[in-house]
Structure formats: C-alpha cells, structure tokens
Amino acid sequence: MASLTGYATVSMILFSLGAIGVVSRRNVFIIYMSIELMLNGINLFLVTFARYHFNMDGQILSIMVIAIAAAEAAIFLSVIILLFKTKKSLDTNVFTELKQETE
Amino acid sequence: MGAADILSFIIFLPAVVAFILMISTTKIEDVRNIAFITTIITLILVMKIYLNFEPKAEMQFVTNIEWISSYGINYYIGVDGFSLTILMLIAILIPTSYLLLWEGRTKGYWLNMLLIQTGVTGTLLSLDIILFYFFWETMLLPVFLIIGIFGSGNKVFSTIKVTIYTMAGSLLMFVAILYLGVSFFNEYGHWSFQYNDLTTLTHLGYNEKLFLFLAFATAFAIKIPIFPFHTWITGTYSDAPTGGVFLLSSIMAKLGVYAVVRFMIPFFPDIFVEFSSWFVFIGVFGMIYFGIAALMQDDIKKMFAYSSASHLSLIAAGVFSLNSYGINGALYLIIAHAIATGGLFLLIGLLHEQTGFKTIKDLGGIAKKAPIFTFMFAIMLFSNVGLPGTNGFVSELLIIFGIYEFNHTMGYISAVTVLVAASFMLWMFQRAILQERVGAPLQMRDLRIKEIVGLVPWVIIIFLMGIYPDPFIDKFEPTVTHYINDILKIGAIK
Amino acid sequence: MHTPYLIWIILIPLLGALLNAGFYIYHIKFKKLPEKLFAIIGTVTPFIAFLFTLNLFFKLNDGSENFEQFLFQWLDVDNLSIEMKLLGDKLAIFMAMFVTFVGWLIHIYAVGYMKGDDGFGKFFAYFNLFLASMLILVLADNPVILFIGWEGVGVCSYLLISFHYTDGDNVMAGNKAFIVNRVGDLGFILGVITLFFALDKTGISFGDMQANISIASNDLLILSGFLLFVGAMGKSAQVPLYVWLPDAMAGPTPISALIHAATMVTAGIYMVARFHFLYSSVEEIGLFIAYIGAISAVFAAIIATRQQDIKKILAYSTMSQLGYMFIGVGLGFYSSGLFHVFTHAFFKAMLFMGAGGVILALHHEQNIFKMAQHRKRLPIISATFLIGVIAISGIPPFSGFFSKDAILAAAFQQGEYLIWGVGMFTAFLTAFYMFRLYFVVFVAPNGHEKEYSYTDKTITFPLMILAVGAIFAGFLNFPAIFGGSAFVDTWLAELNSVKLHMSHATEYALMFASIAVAVAGIYVAYKKYANYDVYKPESEEGLIANKFYVDEVYDKLFVQSIKRLSRYFDETVDTKYIDGTLMLACKGFISFGKKLAIIQNANVRYYAFYMLAGISATSMYIYITLIGQ
C-alpha cells in the first residue's frame, strides 16, 4: 500500500489542478470539469484518511459529496444551456452584465 | 397643562399642523391661511412668555421629562434671557415673512416652512444635548427639501452640498456629544445628557477637551458660517427660494451663534478663553474679507450672502471677545441683522417674482415705479450699514467697544465694518434701484397693503431699537453678565 | 439747569420732516397736494426752532446757567452708560442760533428754487430732517449722541445730493460723499472709543470726560485727538478727505448753500471746539490740525483759480475757508475759529444762493464763461454777490475781515510764521479768484443787450437779510483795540481759548498787511478779468485745472485695487482654493470609490480567484497560528 503522503499529495495535486482550472480557463464547460476535478480530489483525500484511521466518517462524507456533485451537475448543465441560448457563446468574458459602469 | 407646557406647545404646534395639513386638504389657500394662523398663535404664545419673563439669569418655564431613561436622555426644555430674545425674534419674523411670501407658493412650500419653524424653535429651547442634536438635524431636512424642490439655478447641487457639509460638521459634533456622555457615565455612574450636568465634568484631560471643543466649533463654524467654512453660502443662498434663504440667513445662522454660547462656553470655559484671540481674529478677518468679496458681485443674492456672512463673522467676533460689551452687542446684532437681512432678502424675492431679473445689470429704475418698495429697501439697507438711529448702529458700536477692550488693534480693525458694508450696499442700491435701466423699463408693482403690513413691524423695531435700546438690552443683560462672571470667571480677573 | 425746551428745538423740524414725508407719500400715491402745503410746513418749522433757540440765548445772556435736558437712558452696559441728554451751553446755543437762522432763510430760498420740481415735498422732508440732525449734533451731551447727528447729516447729505437720482452722476456723487465721510466717521468712532477707555471708562458725556481728562495718558490723548480729527477731516472736507465736496455740487443749490457752506461742513470745527479740553492738553495735535487747515486752505485756493463751474469755485472756496477755521481752533483760538464759522455761514450761504439765482435765471447754466455770454440783469443778486465777495476777501468793515484777521494774527502770535505766510498767500488768492468770479459773471462786457430779469421774492429776500449779516456781523466780535466788546469771544469764554495779546503796533501792522494782500488780489483780478473777452474761455488743461489729478490718483489707488481684490477674493480664494479643497475631498472620495469598483468586473473567474485567494490566506493564517500550539 502506498504511504499516506503519496495519496494526500495526489489528491492535493488534483485539487490544485481543479482550482487553477476554475480560475484560468475561459470556457464554461472546462470550468465545470475543473469543479468536478476539485470535488474528486477532495473525495480521494477524505477516503484516504478514512482508510488510514479506520473511521467510516470520511467515506460517508465522500458518498455525500458524490451525491451533491451529481445534483450540481444536473443544474450546472441546464444553466450552461440557458447561458448559451442568451449569448450564443460559452466564454466567461462575455457575461459581464453586472459590471460597474465606468464613466 | 401648566404654564411650563407652553414651550412644548410652541415647539410642536407647527409640526402637528403640518402633518394634519399634509394628509388632509389640498387647496393651497387653505394650507397657507392655516399655516399663517398657526404662526400667529405661536407668536401670541411667545409674547405671553416674553411678558411673564423675569430678568434673571436662570432658566425659566422648564419642562423635564424622561425620554430614553436607560441612557439618561430627557426631554428637557427651558428658556433664559438669551434664548428668549432669539425666540421672540423668530416668532415675530416668521408670521410677517409669510405676508411677504403670500402669493404663488405650493402646499409643500408652506409645510416645509412650518417644519423648519418647529426645528428651529426646538433647537433654541432644548437643554438636553441629545434633544438639541435631534432638533438640529431636524432643521436640515425641510431646508433640504425646500431648496431642492422650490429653488432655482443649480438647486439640487446646492442643496446636497449644504446638507452634506452641515451634516459632516454635525456628525463630528455628535461624536463629541457621545464622548461627553460616556465621560459623564464614567465619572458619575449614571447617564445624563442634560447640559447643566455635563458642565460638571472634571476628569477630562486637556487634549480631550481640545478635541471636543474643536469638534463642536467645526459644526457651528460651518453653520454660521465662519471663514473658511463658508463656501456653501454663495451657491445655496442664490439658488434657494426666498422663504428658504430668509430662514437660512435670518434664523438658522443665528442658531450656530446661540449654540456656541449655550453649549460651548459652559462646557469648555478655559479652552474658550484660550482660543478667543483666534476666533476674534477670524471673525474680524471674515467680516472684512466677505465685505470686500461682496463688492464686485453681480448677482444680488450672492452679494447679500457675502454681506450676511460679513455681519455674522462680526457677531462671532463679538461673542468671543469675552466682555459684556461684545456679547451684548453680538446679541443685539443678531436681532438687527436678522431683521435687516431678512427684509432685504424678502424684498429681493418680491423683485425677482415681478421682474425675473438675473443680475444687477438687469435692474434699474425701481425707485420711480415702486417708491414704497424703495423706501422699505432703503431702511433695511441703512440698518445693515449701521446708521445711527437704527439698531444696526447700536449693535456695531457695542461690538467695536467690546473688541477694542479685548485687544486694541483688533478693535481698530473691526471698526472698518462701518465702511465695508456702506460701499457695496450704496453702489448696489444706486445701480439696482435708483438709476434708470439700460433698455426697456421693468414691470414692477409697488408693495401691496399686505406686504406693507408685514414690513411695518420690522421698520418700527429697527427704529425703536435704534432710538431707545435700553429696555431691549435689559432683558438679556443679566444672562450675559452671569455668563461672563460665573461661567467664564472673567469677572474675577477684572 | 434743566429745561424742557431743548428737545423742541430738535423735535419741531423733525416733526416737519415726518409731516412732509407723510404728505408726500399721500401726494404720489393718491391725490396731488399743492406745493404751498409742503412749503409752509418746511419753512415754519425752522423758524419756530430759531425762536426757541433765541429764547434760550437771551436767558443765557442774562447769566443763567447752562441748560440741560435728560431724556432717557439710551444704553447701559457694564461701565458704558450713555444717556440721551441734550446740553445747551453757550457754545451749543451759539451754533444752534446761526444754524436755525441761516437754515430758515435757506428754506425760504428753496421754496423759490425748487418750484415746479416733482419731488418738492420730498425735498422739504429731507431738508427738515437735515436740520433736525444738525441740531442733534450741536445739542448733544456726549459724543455718541453727537455721532448720531453727525451720521444723520451725512445721510441727509447723501439723500439730497442724489436727489435727482435718475441721473447716475448725481448718485455717484452722493455715494462718494457718504463713503468718504464714512472713512472719517471710522476715525471718529475709534477716537471716541480710545478716549473712553483711556479715561478708564469713567464716563462718556462731555462733562464727565472734561472732569476726568487728567486720568488719560498723553499718548492715548494724542491718538484719540488725531482719530477724532480724522472724522473732522472727512466731514469738513480737509486734505486728504475732501474729494467729495466738489462733486457734492451736483445737488440742488439750496443744499449746497445749507449743507456744504453753512452747517454740515462746520460740524468738524464744532467738534474740535467741543473737545477743547482734549486738544488744549495735547498741543502737538493742535499744531497738526492747524497745518492740515493751512494746507487745505492754500490747496483749495490754488485749484479754485482755474475752475469754471461757479458752484465748484464756491465749493473750493468753502474748503479753503474751513482751512482757516481749523488753523484757528488748531492753535487753540477756539472762539476766533468759531467766529469765522459764524461770519462765513452768512456770506458763503449768500454767495451760493446768489449763484443759484443766476443759475436759475440762465436756465441751469453753471459755467461762468457761458453765463457771461448770456447774462441778464439781476440787480439784487449782483449787489448781494458783490457784498459777499468783498466780505470773503477780507476787506473791512465787512465781517470777513474781522474773523479772518483774528485767525491770521493768532498764527503770527503763536510763532507759526509758516502758517501765517500760507494764510496771507491764501488770502491773496481768495481775493483773486472770488473777484475773478465776480468780474467774469457780472462785469465783463459781452455782446448782448442786458434785459432785466425778474427773480422770485423768495430768492431775494433771504439774500438781502444775509447781506446785512455779512456786512455787520463783524461787529459782533469787534476787537478790543478798536474799542469793541469782543462779544463772541466773551460768549465762548468757557472754551478757554488762547487770548490775543500783542502790541497794538503789531496788530495794526498785521491788519494792514492782510488788507494790502486782499487789495492786491482784487487788483490782479481786475486787470485780468474786468474786460475779459468771455467768448475765449480759459483752457481746461494743466495740473491746476485738473485739480492736481487727486481724484484720478484716489481712483487708481483705492477704488481699482479694492475692486480687483474683491474679484480676487471671490474668484480665486473662494472658488479655487477653499471650495477647491472641499471639492477635492469630495472628488477624492468619488475617485477612490471608482477605483475600488474596478474589482467588480462581473467576470466570474475573477470572483472565483478572489474567493480562492481569500480562503487560502485564511487557511494559512489559521495553520500558522495553530502551529504554535
């Protein structure tokens, strides 16, 4: 079995990649995928520590995260379709309606 | 309802009437008539107090009810010689000014005038400092509305400027008030905001007192106005409607001076004495500065704004001169200036309604068309200039005496007041009223009976106070002496 | 000694003013009233005041004490107790007598002069008000009440100079008079205040101040004496505050006669005499006053020699004669100075009224050369004018000689030879320009046939009465060397004037010198102007003809610079600096807010980044603080 450090590192790398993806990618789909990546990274982290401490709490939380991610996926994808209908583009830079008017 | 409740009645009657009128009638004439009757009733009540007042140095007609008892805030009102004189002035000026504003106003105008009267009277009579602050801020709102809705020119900008500027000062004062309240609680274990309690604070350090003093001074300096916090007046006075500018300059500015005497002197007597030279200097400087700035003005209302500021600076200098001549003279000038400047503004307002003029260049030839108007205008003008026989002279004489006793050089400089106002007033009078106009003659009707009836009491007071000043001064002289001897402890030094 | 009559001397003209004012308002608003009504009210009231004064005069002459009348307490603050009280001592009654008498005569004259004018009633209201103010001035018991009258005459002067206000020039002249007077008043008020405090606030009435004068330090006495004199400089048109007097001639001639010849301008000399207890103790200021008087006298005389407007010549002449009066009172010879006030009132008023008569007859022509071109025959006016001119030149036995000679002798006796010399030279010039005026207007040949022109009796009657005064008033103070009783000197003995005591020889020599100088002036004028071709008017070029450019200098120095300062204050200091700082604070807020708002760019990724950054920072912080445990 690989050491704890290894698993933790992998999950942190996954999480970081996801975070960077959310911030730096412009396509809404990619942002969504990055969010999913972040969630899965955290799942791995939770499960790792659950297995390490022989405590079921981590695994239960991880199942809840998966469930919520699934629900979120449904809403997210519908919203993306609506967004595409309004602006015919999936570039986040286009959706700036709430911006402060500069004079 | 005892005799002491008259004061509460005087304060709140206009507001109550305004509220009732707001939700009931819509006919302008009815609103105006009822408002007028309300002010007359207030006048009668004030006269009753005036006649029953004894010339002593203490508060009379006092009401003291608990309001927010957990913080020691009481509804504490009362009147002494000082506030009585100003109260009488307000009570006489407001109804007569209604007569000069009779035609062509809307319902909102009259309601705002009533509300301002409540605010002003309340400020004058409050002896609990939180109550005072409450009314002080209440004065601002109807003024804001009256200038912003019924004004002219750059009215929205002017009204926002004056409201925020004044509020900034008041906010500073509020911080100081809270600090005082907390200090009192720390020292005595219970809350109180009554002014005679707050004068008994002893544990305040010098720096604290200095900060508090300056905070109060800033708020009042903006209101009066004193150089260099005066820049709001030119815009505001020229953009405000006639009733608004009349209330602002004749009444509300005086409340700044009143507040200095009522609160700043008893709270911080030692710092007051220490800083008096500064304030006398600023007062005298402001008087000359505003007088000179008024000279080349083309807009009459701006010129009168500067003239008003010039006299108010002189009043402030008189108050800070720490002797009975100066303070009595300042109070006298408060009355004289309120009448003369108020009259001038109201007459100019009438002129503006009739002719729609913009600057002095548009005017001329009024004397031939409207001789009675010219006569009234000339009397107000001569009182402003300080001609002997009018109350303007008596007041300026006393103030010059006072400032001279305080500091000889300042006294000499302050005497320039006799010259400053004369120059621009006469020049304006010549161009605007006497000389023939270049171009087509103006349409101007002379004063109607109503307006003459409104102005006659003022003319009588001007001359009565100028020819026989002693009985007027007797009413407030004991209070002034009390202030100087007991509070400022100057009497001991003399 | 108390009397109830003093107040009536003031109240009756005041009542006349109020009545006329009320009737005038009725006249313009409702129904027209006849001129006679205003005229009768206007002329009867000064006469009644004169009768009251005369009554008090006789009582005083019989040895009664000085009269006083306490009216009410005017002001009572701290140590300053001012009473509204009237004082009728010999000096006051002396002034009041000729003020009411000459005033009455000029009121009669004005009925004829102002006939047909729209503002007839208004004129008499103002005129009576002026008389009442002047009487307050002379009858006051303390300088504050005096100042009320002092300013009162100033205001009436303003109102009357700008009487025909539709013409802007008149109003400007009125403004100038009022403001230059105000500069003087500034000095006066400061002088009163300085004196009051110098006397340790012991009292402000003249009697109190006289009793306590020794308390004051010498420096403060000099200062207050100087400041009080600044007031006199303004009111009595001495250098440098004289510039309003020639312009004041824009007003109708009756007021030039009354206000600017006989009464208001003499207020300054009265004031110095009233404060004699002060000026006697600080001789330096007295000398200063005498010098200013001498300078004004000669300065005005020089300018008068080239003036062409008849009223302006008389105005400068007044200024010059006032200079003589100040020489008198400055050197401590109060009664001599006041005697010259008295005689001057008669002949100067007469000269002005005569000039007015000529102006009227020639349809408001005021240039002496043009007058001569269209001269009409006016016998009474010519005769009285000649009498006046002789009197002012100082030819005996007319009154001007006695009064002027007394002053010149005073200067000589005090050792002030410079002043004496200047005075003699001025006497020469006076004779010269006055006779220049007379010859050009009345004598120089012209091409026209002289027709007789009828002049109103109201104009000639006062002239004749004043002529009698001009001729004979000198005998009221007939000097002792001629065996006279020097009545005026004894009457005003309370003032402790310096007495003339020189050898008879010196006195005769001086008198002869002054007569000689006057005759020389007349001779030069005769040579030059008696046969002058009036169609060749004198040029208006040159330093003298332009009044030494003083008006222009004042304008540049004071008026223009104050106007520039005013604009500077309003536009630069107020708007740019003070308001600018304020608006800078406001704009600072707004721009700060705008810069903050850049963060809100509505781009989701940025918001995500902010969240990430915030959470990371918070987590790091918690981690680091927990590490310590």
Q: Among B251, B247, B320, which Cα is nearest to B283's?
A: B320
In a domain, A99, yes or no: no
Nearest CB to A96 within list C594, C598, C603: C603
Structure tokens at B184: 């009192």
- Chain A hits for C609, CB-CB cut-off 8 Å, are 23
All residues of chain C having their beta carbon less than 8 Å from the beta carbon of residue A95 are: 602-604
3-state secondary structure C48-89: HHHHHHHHHHHHHHCCCCCEEEEEEEEEEECCEEEEEEEEEC
For residue B446, the model assigns a pLDDT of 78
Alpha-carbon distance of C428 to C518, in angstroms, equals 5
CA distance C326 to A51: 121
Question: Are C581 and C608 contained in the same domain?
Answer: no
pLDDT band at B492 (very low <50, low <70, confident <90, very high): very low
Contacts of C597 in chain A (CB under 8 A): 100, 102
Structural domain containing residue C629: 601-629
Number of domains in chain B: 1
Taking only residues 42 to 101 of chain A, the set having a beta carbon closer than 8 angstroms to any beta carbon of chain C reads 92-93, 95-100
CA-CA distance, B19 to B30, in Å (whole number)? Answer: 14
pLDDT digits (tens, 9 = 90+) for B184-240: 888 888 888 887 777 777 777 888 888 989 999 999 988 888 888 888 888 888 888
Ranges of residues in chain C whose predicted pLDDT is under 50: none
Among candidates C84, C175, C189 on the partner chain, residue whose Cβ is nearest the Cβ of B430: C175
Terminal C-alpha separation, chain C: 104
Query: CA angle at residue C406 from C404 to C410, to 5 degrees?
Result: 120
C600 and chain A in contact, CB less than 8 A: yes
Q: Do B397 and C155 touch (CB under 8 A)?
A: no
Q: Which domain holds residue B452?
A: 274-494
HSE at residue C222, side-chain half, CA atoms within 13 A, is: 9
Average pLDDT over residues A29-46: 92
Closest chain A residue to the Cα of C604, Cα to Cα = A92
Kindly list the residues from chain C whose CB atom is less than 8 angstroms away from the CB atom of residue A93. Answer: 603
The answer to whether residue B291 is domain-embedded is yes
Residue among A23, A26, A103 minimizing CB distance to C609: A23
What is d(CA B370, CA B440) in angstroms, rounded to the nearest whole number?
16
Using the beta-carbon criterion (under 8 Å), do B293 and C186 form an inter-chain contact? no
Chain C contacts of B393, Cβ < 8 Å?
A: 148, 151
CA of B292: which chain C residue's CA is closest? C566
- Name the residue with tokens 């207007």: C441
DSSP per-residue string spanning C558-600: IIIHHHHHHHIIIIIIIIIIIHHHHHHHHHHHHHHHHHHHTT-
Q: What pLDDT, on a 0 to 100 scale, did the predictor assign at position C537? A: 67
| C-chain residue closest to A94, CA distance | C603
Distance CA C465, CA C461 (A): 6
Q: How many CB atoms lie within 10 A of CB B163?
A: 19
Task: Check if C364 contacts A (Cβ < 8 Å).
Answer: no
The identity of residue B59, as a single letter, is M
The residue that leads in pLDDT, A67 or C209, is A67
The answer to whether the CB atoms of B400 and C189 lie below 8 A apart is yes
Probe site for chain B from C158, C235, C560, C566 (most B CB atoms < 10 A):
C566
Q: What is the DSSP string of C21-41?
A: HHHHHHHHHT----HHHHHHH
Q: Which of residues 149-208 of B touch C (CB under 8 A)?
A: 165
A chain contacts of residue C602, beta-carbon cutoff 8 Å: 95-99
Q: Which of C587, C598, C600, C601 to mutate to probe the A interface, most A CBs <10 Å?
A: C601
Q: What is the ipTM of this complex?
A: 0.86
Of A22, A23, A98, the CB nearest to C602: A98
Nearest to B195 by CA among B257, B119, B133, B254: B133
CA angle, B471 as apex, B466 and B476 as ends, to 5°?
105
Mutation test of the interface with chain B: which of C570, C572, C577, C579, choosing the one with the most B Cβ atoms within 10 A? C570
> Among residues B238, B417, B445, which one has the least CA distance to residue B353?
B445
| C76 bridge partner residues | C81
- Among C594, C602, C612, the residue with its CB nearest the CB of A99 is C602
To test the contact with chain C by mutation, choose from B387, B397, B428 the residue with the greatest count of C C-beta atoms within 10 A, namely B397
Whether B288 is covered by a domain: the verdict is yes
Q: Do B435 and C166 touch (CB under 8 A)?
A: yes
Structural domain includes residue A62: yes
Judge contact between C82 and C75, C-beta under 8 A.
Answer: yes
| Distance in Å, alpha carbon of C326 to nearest chain B alpha carbon | 25
Q: In angstroms, what separates the C-alpha of B451 from chain C's closest C-alpha? A: 16
Q: Are A102 and C594 within 8 A, CB to CB?
A: yes
**Same domain assignment for residues C625 and C590:** no
Torsion angles phi and psi, residue C576, rounded to 5: -80, -50
Q: What pLDDT score was predicted for residue C130?
A: 92
The verdict on B419 touching C (C-beta cutoff 8 Å) is yes
Of the two residues B63 and B383, the one the predictor is more confident about is B383
Question: Would you tell me how many other CB atoms lie within 10 Å of the CB of residue C541?
Answer: 9
Do the chains contact at C569 and B293, CB–CB below 8 Å? Answer: yes
Contact C272, C232 (CB under 8 A): yes
Determine contact, residues C535/C444, Cβ cutoff 8 Å: no
Lowest mean pLDDT among B236-250, B252-266, B356-370, C408-422: B356-370
Residue indicated by tokens 């939380």: A61
Are the beta carbons of B419 and C183 separated by less than 8 Å?
yes
Give the integer Cα–Cα distance in Å for B322 and B488: 8
- Whole-number Å distance between alpha carbons of C412 and C328: 11
Give C597→chain A minimum CA distance, Å: 6
CATH number of domain containing A68: 1.10.287.3510
Give the whole-angstrom CA distance, residue C139 versus residue C144.
12
Chains A and C touch (3+ CB pairs under 8 A): yes
Task: Determine the structural domain holding residue A65 and report its residue range.
Answer: 4-87
Chains in contact with C, where contact means 3 or more Cβ–Cβ distances below 8 Å, are: A, B
**Torsional sign, CA B117, B121, B124, B129:** negative
Asked if residues B226 and B286 have their Cβ atoms less than 8 Å apart, the reply is yes
Residues of C in contact with A26 (CB under 8 A): 605
**Quick check: is A100 in a domain?**
no
Residue C576 lies in a domain: yes
- 3-state secondary structure at position C549: helix
Q: Which residue has the higher pLDDT, B479 or C127?
A: C127
Residue closest to B427 by CA, chosen among C231, C563, C149, C160:
C563
In a shared domain, residues C584 and C609? no
For C221, the token pair is 């006495």
Cβ atoms within 10 Å, residue C10 = 24
Q: If pLDDT is split at 50, 70 and 90, which confidence band does B494 have?
A: very low
Is the Cβ pair C594, A98 closer than 8 Å? Answer: no
Chains contacting B with at least 3 CB pairs below 8 Å? Answer: C
In this predicted structure, the answer to whether residue A33 has a pLDDT above a threshold of 50 is: yes
Give the DSSP per-residue string, C441-485: IIIS--SSPPPB----HHHHHHHHHHHHHHHHGGGGG--GGGT--
A23 CB neighbours in chain C (<8 A) are 605, 608-609, 612
Q: How large is the greatest C-alpha to C-alpha distance in chain A, in angstroms? A: 62
Could you tell me if C593 and C606 lie in one domain? no
Burial classification of residue C285, based on how many CB atoms lie within 10 Å of its CB (0-12 exposed, 13-18 middle, 19 or more buried): buried
Closest CA to C303 of C237, C360, C254: C237
Pick from A33-37, B456-460, C77-81, C477-481: least confident: C477-481
What span, in angstroms and rounded, lies between the C-alpha atoms of B386 and B417? 9
B-chain residues near C177 (CB < 8 A): none
Q: By C-alpha distance, which of B389, B461, B380 is closest to B421?
A: B380
d(CA C81, CA C96) in angstroms, rounded, equals: 26
Find out whether C522 and C393 touch, Cβ atoms under 8 Å: yes
Average pLDDT, chain A: 88
Same domain, C582 and C605: no
Which of C366, C381, C343, C360 is closest to C262 using CA atoms? C343
Residue pair C8/C106 in contact (Cβ under 8 Å)? The answer is no
The rounded distance, in Å, linking the Cα atoms of C70 and C68 is: 7
Asked whether residue A98 is domain-assigned, the answer is no
Quote the pLDDT of residue B204.
79
Instruction: Please give the pLDDT value at position C481.
Output: 60
What are the tokens at C490?
Answer: 């004894």
Helix (H, G, I), strand (E, B) or coil at C601: coil
Mean pLDDT score, B300-307:
88
pLDDT of residue A36: 93
Lowest mean pLDDT among A56-60, B321-325, C445-449: C445-449
Residue A64 in domain: yes
Do B and A touch, 3+ Cβ pairs within 8 Å? The answer is no
Contact status, residue C69 vs residue C141, Cβ threshold 8 Å: no
What does the radius of gyration of chain B's CA atoms come to, in whole angstroms? 22
| Rg from Cα positions in chain A | 18
Sign of the CA dihedral with C204 first, then C207, C210, and C215 last: negative
C399-413 and C457-472 helices cross at what angle (nearest 10)? 40
| The residue to which tokens 């300059």 are assigned | B249
For residue B418, is it within any domain?
yes
Q: Is C608 within 8 Å of A96 when comparing Cβ atoms?
A: no
Name the minimum distance, in Å, from the CA of A4 to any CA of chain C.
20
Percent of chain A with pLDDT over 70: 94
On whether residue C347 sits in a domain, the answer given is no
Interface contact A100-C612, CB threshold 8 A: no
pLDDT digits (tens, 9 = 90+) for A73-87: 999 999 999 989 988
- How far apart, in whole angstroms, are the C-alpha atoms of residue B27 and residue B29? 6
Q: Do chains C and B touch (3 or more CB pairs under 8 A)?
A: yes
Q: How far apart are CA C210 and CA C275, in angstroms?
A: 8
Instruction: Give a three-class secondary structure readout of chain B.
Output: CCCCHHHHHHHHHHHHHHHHHHHCCCCHHHHHHHHHHHHHHHHHHHHHHHHHCCCCCCCEEEEEEEEEHHHCEEEEEEECHHHHHHHHHHHHHHHHHHHHCCCCCCHHHHHHHHHHHHHHHHHHHECEHHHHHHHHHHHHHHHHHHHHHHCCCCHHHHHHHHHHHHHHHHHHHHHHHHHHHHHHHHHHCCCCCEHHHHCCCCCCCHHHHHHHHHHHHHHHHHHCCCCCCCCHHHHHHHHCCHHHHHHHHHHHHHHHHHHHHHHHHHHCHHHHHHHHHHHHHHHHHHHHHHHHHHHCCCCHHHHHHHHHHHHHHHHHHHHCCCCHHHHHHHHHHHHHHHHHHHHHHHHHHHHHHHHCCCCHHHCCCHHHHCHHHHHHHHHHHHHHHCCECEHHHHHHHHHHHHHHHHCHHHHHHHCCHHHHHHHHHHHHHHHHHHCCCCCCCCCCCCCCHHHHHHHHHHHHHHHHHHHCCHHHHHHHHHHHHHHHHHHCCHHHHC
Which residues on A lie below 8 Å from C615 (Cβ)? none
Tell if the CB–CB gap between B292 and C565 is shorter than 8 Å.
Answer: yes
Q: In this complex, is the C-beta atom of A31 within 8 Å of any C-beta atom belonging to chain C?
A: yes
Assess if residue C551 is contained within a domain: yes
Domain tally, chain A: 1
> What's the CA gap between C134 and C152, in Å, rounded?
8
Q: How many domains does chain C have?
A: 2
Distance (Å, whole) CA C293 – CA C233:
9
